[in-house]
Amino acid sequence: MTKPTALPLQARHGEAAFGILGAISTSHFINDMMQSLILAMYPLLKGSFHLSFGQIGLITLTYQLTASLLQPLIGLYTDKKPQPYSLPFGMAATLCGLLLLAYAPSYEAVLLAAACVGTGSAIFHPESSRIARLASGGRHGLAQSVFQVGGNTGSAVGPLVAAAVIVPFGQHSVAWFGLAAVLGIVLLVQVSRWYATHHIAGSGRSRPPVESPYPRKVVLGAVAVLLVLIFSKYFYIAGLSSFYTFYLIEKFGLSVQSAQVHLFAFLFASAAGTILGGPIGDRVGRKPVIWASILGVAPFALLLPHADLFWTTVLTIVIGLVLSSAFSAILVYAQELMPGKVGMVSGLFFGFAFGMGGLGAAVLGLLADRTSIDAVYHAIAYLPLLGSVVALLPKSRHITTKP
């Protein structure tokens, strides 16, 4: 007999293991909340270290680029050699980055802290995405949405807690959020135990080789289209979120805390939208969801730079709600294109998303230094129009793939 664990084991075929999905989503919440603390601290760091917008963008680039480069490699490795207990180590790396950020004496130390957080994310995302699929009971879109909503909610809460705690109490108060990381480590130990048990239980069963339902040329073309969509989404999101507080402060004269509350509203809308994309994609197909979520946001993005404060708030909430539904559908679509390579696919798409976010923040930070924040918002408004390339995707076919 195996020892009982604190979390339920794999549910029967066709039934999702919601205990595992809840635990991995909660861990995602903690991981991404700690990441978003960096974003929420930008006004504080800018004043403390006298940073330019280009240097602010470089912080995001350091974090995102670290995660971007490592995630596909980690995903490819764990496809061949699953590492169930790597997840707690990823959270521990994020914890180290958070503590370093709390006591960073210089801008260089802030960059090192960002790199530690990026490393933690690189370890966390590919394996946790695989576990979400493993626990899905065949409802892959729903499972990815549950997993993603935890991360997006964490990203939304970060600016709110920063406004409540970090702004009044200063940089050192970031260290208190290390307690959340400890909770994440405890949860991930339980998830890893479940994953190890399930992997051992399934390792003796022979699996027929799984092939893509499309020719190789079609798969490569579809992946290229999906990466263009990721570029459009995350380059735009980088400009919108990285400089949103500065945009509100400069254009409408808001205080730092008020601007962070508006950032929370945008990010919370993004979290709410995440839960819609996966289940709808399970029912109507991935392609319609991708089409509606990226190209559908274009009119709102084009209106945003011309809006007053009220309509800026409304438009950013709508943009967050609609645009965020895309990623779960894109990821599951890609996993169906390349069955049996869940870790590599997850690492590639999470990594590319992180990389485009970091590159966007750095490039747009330099643009803001040379022109203005308002010019940045005018420039990025056209990016969602790239959603028109969805027309080049083949129709998604439902297939059964191994985790």
Alpha-carbon dihedral of residues 383, 389, 395, 398, nearest 10 degrees?
Answer: -30
Query: Is this structure's pTM higher than 0.75?
Result: no
Per-residue pLDDT of the chain (403 residues; tens, 9 = 90+): 444 344 444 444 445 578 888 898 899 899 888 887 887 788 888 888 988 888 888 888 888 778 777 877 887 787 778 777 889 999 999 999 999 999 999 999 999 999 999 899 888 888 888 888 888 777 777 787 788 778 878 877 877 787 788 878 888 888 898 899 999 999 999 998 888 887 544 444 444 455 666 788 888 898 899 999 989 988 898 888 878 888 999 999 998 888 888 988 888 888 788 777 667 777 777 788 888 888 889 999 999 999 999 999 999 999 988 888 777 788 888 878 887 777 778 778 877 877 787 788 778 888 888 998 899 999 999 999 988 888 888 865 544 444 4
- Whether the Cβ atoms of residue 228 and residue 330 lie closer than 8 Å to each other: no
Sketch the domain layout of the chain as residue ranges.
Answer: 18-392
What is the CATH topology of the domain spanning 18-392?
Answer: Growth Hormone; Chain: A; (1.20.1250)
| Closest listed residue to residue 319, CA positions, set 212, 244, 401 | 244
Contact 117, 65 (CB under 8 A): no
Taking Cα atoms as reference points, which of 239, 232, 247 lies closest to residue 358? 239
How big is the CA angle at 337 (ends 336 and 341), to the nearest 5 degrees? 75
d(CA 74, CA 68): 11
Q: Which tokens is 88 given?
A: 């707690």
